Structure 1
């Protein structure tokens, strides 16, 4: 290959590069991606004998990267799950092993990495296989960097075929069997593949908060978001019960009762009953004071005469084509990739398209809201078309639609717990500081993203970092595990942020930045007199989007965490204060005084 296509698209192993000397014949395979671009791919290594230099079967080489995997094929790395964690692993491993080098590169060896890490190894003749029940791959994209360690993220979706141009085969299948000793995976297609290393990136499933006897909806993937929109805009739906108190629940309440949704159906007569086991809104993520602040913001947004719709779409969703489903396809759909951090944009769009009346005109509508605190589901059953729900406080609810939003739990049932031990806390696959499983097969099995439990790093008192099942953490753990396996990274995790917990999100139209031990995480053993918290807030009833809330947590005078809600412009300053360990005892509550320019003081 010559010209721009070769430089941009040509990915070659060390044997392929010998083609330039005439040692091998080259041929080109055109791979059509989701964007209908032709990716030029030089594949001389897919020679007729099908045998690698080391004697192991290559499977069907690059041609199989375009099609399906071959029964009995060997892959250096097999990644199960094409969510954010799995895709991050695939891309980082391709980069670290030279799979994504420019065509003109002559040398596969990275002396800088070898000097820094004695165990470094690099071989661009490696092969990867990416397995996922769907044909959708998810990637995290940084849309706005707020500080050195904190950023807004978006999730983009593409076809698995896009990974073929990076030397990664893919299989649209589900894993139904695993033999850790033999290093084999059995797929629901009947194929059995062998691997040198396995990366488990199967993510998490929604935790069901209601009995199976009730037809409850969960925000799991694109299809479930569409189903929720259809149900709540249905003319027969007059009562919706929402169970849960985490991020998904907060977003549903804001969408249906706060900012509202555009629909052709008037929804003011419909009531949303929000059932939570806590005493405060969002208690799963925030303390009581921040929860009280959000409660007032929610009421202020409901009082607004004309709520403004969100202007940005962070997630990009592929077109879903309906077709015939056999049992295996239905099972795969249940294991589909998750909906994305800004799933409410799609939800609002589907609400706008759903329902219908004689005029066909749309307007912004909000449901009535009733909040029931300190209650759980005691019993539930169907009574004709309606659901009858009995709460732990004895109250009975009748619902046309039930939504379960009670968090997630790791999805790794297909992997034997004896091969990859589980956490007793959350059921995730236990991993060490390098994302390797702690069981007998630590040398060959990694776990990343929501499927893993990082108790070793989370317990460490050296840094205010802990695991939370977030898109950003999935991307980070996937890339980190790939570089560990490639031999270019170790437990020190140079280039990765395991030193400070950061999360940027949005609730009720306000930017939310969480830093460090923002809710006293990992401080349970500290004396109460050594911990101090200061906060300030401003609620603008006429313009809730201009409201702000700031809360900091200090341990023996040093800042350990912060909650920043709204446009505070304090995230970079507070991040530096946490990382530098500056003694702030002398300032006390004045630290949050708007007239006190803390940034200039510490410059």
Structure 2
């Protein structure tokens, strides 16, 4: 590399999303005197506190040179590092790259763009069945929503068909006026300070946190409150403009209102819908590309940078955390990586701990958060808690389920293997998460309790205090 290093930092973190910011916080609390740089392409940084010793560089990374411990930014500057952590997140799997009517929602910037486009929309087609799609179809008002999911039930990343059936009526009911608060760590996004040197490139911003839709009005142009129709077990076959549709030789494709919508979506179930906007919410792929060229990173099958139990990649002094990495240590039997916001935060925090420990030559154990998978979120205004192997992941047929469901109030599912609890799904205000978390962790034999385990007349907490 010809260009001279502008400055060498002790720690460089790439990515201003939750993993990157948590990593910075951890590093600066462990080694307050360390020189830390955060390189981010996004307009917003998920920030909690400002640190005096933190330099924020607003640019995308153009190339990484692990041999010389340096990286070049898109605006041509070169920075050195002693230790680097890549927290570049994931990029949305878009249905199509260059259609102005197709929007991928992944980060803070695209959510605001969506709000703008939605305000003029009468009908949208939402494609995808993950967390963002679930939140979106529930939050949008004043607009007709056609929701295309590739599975037999909604939300199958998070729960089974039973839980999906429990939630479906909420899509048809009016939204309650005030949502019950859900206890979680909150992060705010900060604009860069006025006058701060900035170079923006069209790079992805930071991923949306769990409360992303609060404070943005997701209202369409209609007076209706909400109309959602779900099209199951189908994917997008083709996307047309109205001109393409009118000139299409396949007359069967022409819906009644051909020409009256700007964009048309043909689904694999043979149906075609006209709409104002197509929202692509079909998940993400690790954003590792920019770092691979010229280096020899070990990459996992899903495209993530392989990391060990100290969040280290295969390149010396390079760590990774969040959606860009794939956990490749021997995983606990009760934990799985799911590229969720909560996991990005945990990984960023732990990567910061590991980087500091290595610099200070201190020993470090794998963090306890990787012992048991747990995720708290909110779908359709219900609190949702997922624990352990909540969908029987990897258990084959060797497990049994206990389910308790009170329509409109709660849905409780327990996964047992060999008489021991290995996972649970709790929807609603069940107050069971702490008890169940302990039962999963201590692997107590629950065979004597049988069905009583979920008997609503038995206060289960008294059993296991």
- TM-score (normalizing by structure 1): 0.68
Q: Within 5 Å, which residues of 2 pair with 1:166-315?
A: 167-210=53-96, 212-213=98-99, 215-234=101-120, 237-256=121-140, 261=141, 267=142, 270-299=143-172, 302=173, 304=174, 307-310=176-179
Provide the rounded CA distance (Å) in 1 between the counterparts of 2:26 and 2:148. Answer: 42
Tell me whether 1:74 sits opposite 2:8 in the alignment.
yes
Gaps of 5+ in 2: 244-260
**Matching residue of 1:602:** 464
Match of 2:236 among 371, 374, 377: 377
Residue 123 of structure 2 contacts residue 145 of structure 2 at CA under 8 Å; is this kept in 1?
A: yes
Counterpart secondary structure, 2:296: coil
**Matching residue of 2:45:** 137
**Matching residue of 2:309:** 433
Residue 233 of structure 1 contacts residue 355 of structure 1 at CA under 8 Å; is this kept in 2?
A: yes
**Matching residue of 2:300:** 423
- TM-score (normalizing by structure 2): 0.87
CA RMSD of aligned residues (A): 2.6
Provide the rounded CA distance (Å) in 2 between the counterparts of 1:410 and 1:568. Answer: 35
Match of 1:87 among 21, 39, 62: 21
Q: Within 5 Å, which residues of 2 pair with 1:2-81?
A: 71-81=5-15
**Cα–Cα, structure 1 residues 211 and 316, in superposed 2: closer, same or farther, change >3 Å?**
closer
Provide the rounded CA distance (Å) in 1 between the counterparts of 2:109 and 2:181. Answer: 21
Provide the rounded CA distance (Å) in 1 between the counterparts of 2:437 and 2:381. Answer: 23
Counterpart secondary structure, 1:435: coil
Provide the rounded CA distance (Å) in 1 between the counterparts of 2:91 and 2:352. Answer: 24
Greater RCO (CA < 8 Å, at least 6 residues apart): 2
**Matching residue of 2:407:** 539
Provide the rounded CA distance (Å) in 2 between the counterparts of 1:453 and 1:421. Answer: 10
Provide the rounded CA distance (Å) in 1 between the counterparts of 2:94 and 2:160. Answer: 24
Residue 372 of structure 1, CA deviation: 0.7
Tell me whether 1:472 sits opposite 2:406 in the alignment.
no
Residue 340 of structure 1, CA deviation: 2.5
Gaps of 5+ in 1: 1-69, 100-123, 140-155, 262-266, 357-363, 541-546
**Cα–Cα, structure 1 residues 136 and 400, in superposed 2: closer, same or farther, change >3 Å?**
closer
Residue 71 of structure 1, CA deviation: 4.4
Residue 285 of structure 1, CA deviation: 1.8
Provide the rounded CA distance (Å) in 2 between the counterparts of 1:400 and 1:226. Answer: 17
Residue 214 of structure 1 contacts residue 381 of structure 1 at CA under 8 Å; is this kept in 2?
A: no
Q: Once the two structures are superposed, what CA deviation does each residue of 1:447-493 show, in whole Å capped at 9, x if it has no partner?
A: 00111111324xx3x44011121222112111212222222765632
**Matching residue of 2:248:** none
Structure of higher CA gyration radius: 1
Counterpart secondary structure, 2:446: coil
Residue 59 of structure 2 contacts residue 200 of structure 2 at CA under 8 Å; is this kept in 1?
A: no
**Matching residue of 1:329:** 200
**Matching residue of 2:214:** 345
Provide the rounded CA distance (Å) in 1 between the counterparts of 2:337 and 2:348. Answer: 14
